[in-house]
Amino acid sequence: MRRTIGTAILSALLAVTTMSLINSAPTSAQSKDAPRKVLRHVVLFKFKEGTTKEQVKAIETAFAGLPSKIDTIRDFEWGTDVSPEGKSKGFTHCFFVTFADEKGRDIYLPHAAHQAFVKLVGPQVDDVCVVDFWTQK
């Protein structure tokens, strides 16, 4: 009788553990919603001395307008340097352009809207740094 009760308890524990594992395993719907790696295109600008605030504002506005013109852009963020470390080397603006994949970036680079932006910003930029990376968690 003891063996039967012990076996029953062990069977119940095994069933509970199995159900717990099944319920915690991601379903195909959860897997689809899991964060995917994305391709970030990071652009840093160092403006030429003499570039006016109005010219910088026009560049900020034009860059921020690209997502509405290029549908492969998944996200766009930007900001200006606020680091207290003093290591920006004159780069004041950082822009993050996010793509789902390299194909999206490869469409963006030669896109007419992007090329028009490059022509706008070119005369005002003393230096530019571009880094592309796949996000890691």
Give the closest residue to 120 by CA, choosing from 60, 53, 46: 60
Residue 96 scores a pLDDT above 50: yes
**Average per-residue pLDDT in the chain?**
84
Q: Rounded to whole angstroms, how far apart are CA atoms 84 and 112?
A: 38
Q: Is the pLDDT of residue 53 over 90?
A: yes
In the sheet that holds 73-80, the strands lie side by side as: 73-80, 93-99, 39-47, 125-134
Q: What is the pLDDT of residue 36?
A: 84
Greater pLDDT, 3 or 73:
73
Per-residue pLDDT averaged across 60-76, rounded? Answer: 98
CATH of domain 35-134: 3.30.70.100
| Predicted local confidence at residue 13, as pLDDT | 36
Indicate whether 108 pLDDT > 70. Answer: yes
Position 101 pLDDT exceeds 90: yes
